[in-house]
């Protein structure tokens, strides 16, 4: 059995502000398999970007990893030194693409220079070789006449093309993992579709796993193999994409699907989730969703330390509804040991029926 590309265990991230501590990521565990596109969804402020930047330790200065591990190959990214991380991992093994390409590109340098610099920073290659790689990267992301575009400045590209350039830089050292945080937000719908196609293409043709962060469940349905659903700093469910849409496990996943107009079948019964997400300075005890949940099944929902459990259909859920000890009415599929479920995750199926 192959081990996952990335393994996050019990990750905890806290921001310290003048008066408070914000527990933005709380005991989050998930794996990203080789070659899969793993989606992370959830409402604004639930900790998606915090989780993403924690993986590369690009947290704001007041943010800190307060627990857990981030395994990538033989490394624990949560524990390795900053120097080592910068040299071995960032931009080389793991790259990140942000929402706004303008923050990733330097307006005063040509894109050729920016690409070649990234490549030479990480790989021991001649200028000539780096130039060749740069042209190849631009070609890989679908930039026409890449050789001629090396000497152009970022402002000479359209928004969509600029995001392609950012992706080219991210891919230039053949990373094993690409993290894309809302990479299509702010782009035209048709350009969005092209960028998503590009990510799928990269995932299929290079040995690159992708974490795709979005609040758009339509995007997830289109490109992801599995999806992690975040609520208030917790990962409440991780499921294959078809399970998320056809048989969502966590009540929050269900409510989220119902609250989104474009989600297919549920169109007719569009409902807004009652209440508001909690203040992460003082998150609710027990399940953080319990104050809004319509399926509270046990007192323990309000107080318990709910484990993430692995299920037969390949999903992972953090909810007492599926625990016969807490919910006597539960009669569905049994939980399985973490070891047993690994086989099922080895070749996640794409939700192409969606
Ligand atoms: N530097 C910071 N200091 C204090 N709190 C922060 C900081 N950065 C983020 N937060 C808080 O951490 C929580 C998670 O924020 P994060 O940006 O990770 O959410 P998100 O899911 O990416 O949201 P969005 O969809 O709006 O991008 C929020 O409550 C946010 O206010
Ligand atoms: Ni974000």
| Ligand (nearest to CA of 41) | 1
Average pLDDT over residues 257-281: 76
Contact residues for 103 (Cβ-Cβ < 8 A; gap 6+): none
Atom of ligand 1 nearest to the CA of 59: 1
DSSP symbol at 251: H
Rounded percentage of the chain residues whose pLDDT exceeds 70: 90
Q: Please, are residues 230 and 251 in contact by the beta-carbon 8 Å criterion?
A: no
Which of 21, 48, 53, 234 has the most ligand 1 atoms within 8 A of CB, as the residue to mutate?
48
Residue 164 and residue 190: Cα distance in Å, rounded?
14
Pick the residue whose CA is nearest to atom 16 on ligand 1: 47
Tens digit of each residue's pLDDT (9 = 90 or more) over 133-162: 999 999 999 999 999 999 999 999 999 999
Residue 267 and residue 154: Cα distance in Å, rounded?
41
Evaluate: CB of 50 within 6 angstroms of ligand 1.
Answer: yes
**Residue-range domain boundaries for the chain:** 103-174
- Checking if the pLDDT of 344 tops 60, the result is no
Q: Which of 51-55, 63-67, 70-74, 267-271 has the least mean pLDDT?
A: 267-271
Residue 292 and residue 108: Cα distance in Å, rounded?
49
Atom of ligand 1 nearest to the CA of 233: 14
Contact residues for 5 (Cβ-Cβ < 8 A; gap 6+): 31, 32, 33, 34, 72, 176, 177, 209
Q: Provide the terminal-to-terminal Cα distance of the chain, rounded to the nearest Å.
A: 29
Pick the residue whose CA is nearest to atom 29 on ligand 1: 45
Average pLDDT over residues 177-193: 91
ipTM exceeds 0.90: yes
Which of 39, 46, 276, 277 has the most ligand 1 atoms within 8 A of CB, as the residue to mutate?
46
- DSSP 3-state assignment of 27? strand
- Checking if the pLDDT of 346 tops 60, the result is no
Which of 24, 64, 215 has the most ligand 1 atoms within 8 A of CB, as the residue to mutate?
24
Record the pTM: 0.91
Q: Please, are residues 212 and 199 in contact by the beta-carbon 8 Å criterion?
A: yes
CA of 53 to the centre of ligand 1 (A): 11
DSSP conformation letters of 130-160: HHHHHHHHHHHTT-SSHHHHTT--GGGS-HH
For residue 83, what pLDDT band results from cuts at 50, 70 and 90?
very high
pLDDT of amino acid 277: 92
CA of 182 to the centre of ligand 2 (A): 7
Evaluate: CB of 213 within 6 angstroms of ligand 1.
Answer: no
Q: Exposed, middle or buried, 270 (CB in 10 Å: 0-12/13-18/19+)? A: exposed
Contact residues for 119 (Cβ-Cβ < 8 A; gap 6+): 125, 130, 133, 134, 172, 173
CA of 14 to the centre of ligand 1 (A): 11
Residues around ligand 2, an ion, CB closer than 5 A = 48-49
Contact residues for 299 (Cβ-Cβ < 8 A; gap 6+): none
Burial 46-76 (b: 16+ CB within 10 A, else e): bbbbbbbbbbbbebeeebebeebebbbeeee
DSSP symbol at 320: G
Beta strands in the chain (DSSP E): 6-16, 21-32, 37-41, 63-72, 75-76, 94-97, 177-181, 209-213, 226-231, 234-240, 309-311, 316-317, 335-336
Residue 351 and residue 208: Cα distance in Å, rounded?
19
Residue 93 and residue 73: Cα distance in Å, rounded?
10
Q: How do 37-41 and 226-231 pair as beta strands?
A: parallel
Pick the residue whose CA is nearest to atom 6 on ligand 1: 15
Residue 344 and residue 88: Cα distance in Å, rounded?
31
pLDDT of amino acid 343: 39
């Amino acid at each position: 059995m192959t081990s996952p590309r990335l393994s996050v265990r019990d990750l905890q991230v806290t921001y310290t502000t003048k008066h408070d501590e914000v527990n933005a990521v709380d005991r989050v565990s998930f794996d990203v398999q080789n070659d899969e596109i793993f989606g992370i969804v959830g409402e604004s402020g639930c900790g998606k970007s915090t989780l993403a930047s924690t993986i590369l330790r690009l947290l704001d200065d007041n943010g800190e990893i307060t627990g857990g591990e981030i395994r990538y190959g033989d490394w624990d990214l949560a524990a390795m030194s900053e120097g080592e991380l910068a040299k071995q991992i960032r931009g080389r093994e793991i790259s990140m693409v942000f929402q706004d390409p303008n923050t990733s590109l330097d307006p005063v340098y040509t894109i050729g220079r920016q690409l070649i610099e990234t490549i030479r920073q990480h790989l021991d290659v001649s200028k000539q070789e780096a130039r060749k790689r740069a042209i190849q990267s631009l070609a890989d992301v679908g930039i026409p006449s890449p050789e001629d575009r090396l000497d152009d400045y970022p402002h000479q590209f359209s928004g969509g093309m600029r995001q392609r350039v950012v992706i080219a830089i991210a891919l230039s050292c053949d990373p094993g993992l690409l993290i894309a945080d809302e990479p299509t937000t702010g782009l035209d719908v048709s350009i969005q579709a092209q960028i998503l196609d590009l990510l799928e293409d990269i995932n299929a043709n290079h040995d690159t796993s992708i974490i795709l962060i979005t609040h758009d469940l339509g995007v997830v349905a289109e490109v992801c193999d599995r999806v992690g659903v975040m609520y208030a700093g917790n990962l409440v469910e991780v499921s294959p994409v078809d399970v998320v849409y056809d048989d969502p496990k966590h009540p929050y996943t269900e409510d989220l699907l119902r609250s989104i107009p474009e989600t297919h079948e549920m169109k007719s019964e569009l409902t807004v989730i009652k209440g508001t997400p909690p203040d992460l300075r003082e998150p609710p005890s027990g399940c953080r969703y319990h104050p809004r949940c319509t399926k509270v099944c046990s007192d323990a929902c309000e107080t318990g330390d709910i484990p993430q459990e692995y299920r037969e259909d390949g999903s992972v859920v953090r909810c007492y509804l599926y625990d016969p000890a807490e919910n006597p009415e539960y009669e569905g599929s049994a939980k399985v040991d973490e070891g047993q479920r690994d086989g099922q995750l080895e070749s996640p199926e794409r939700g192409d029926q969606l």
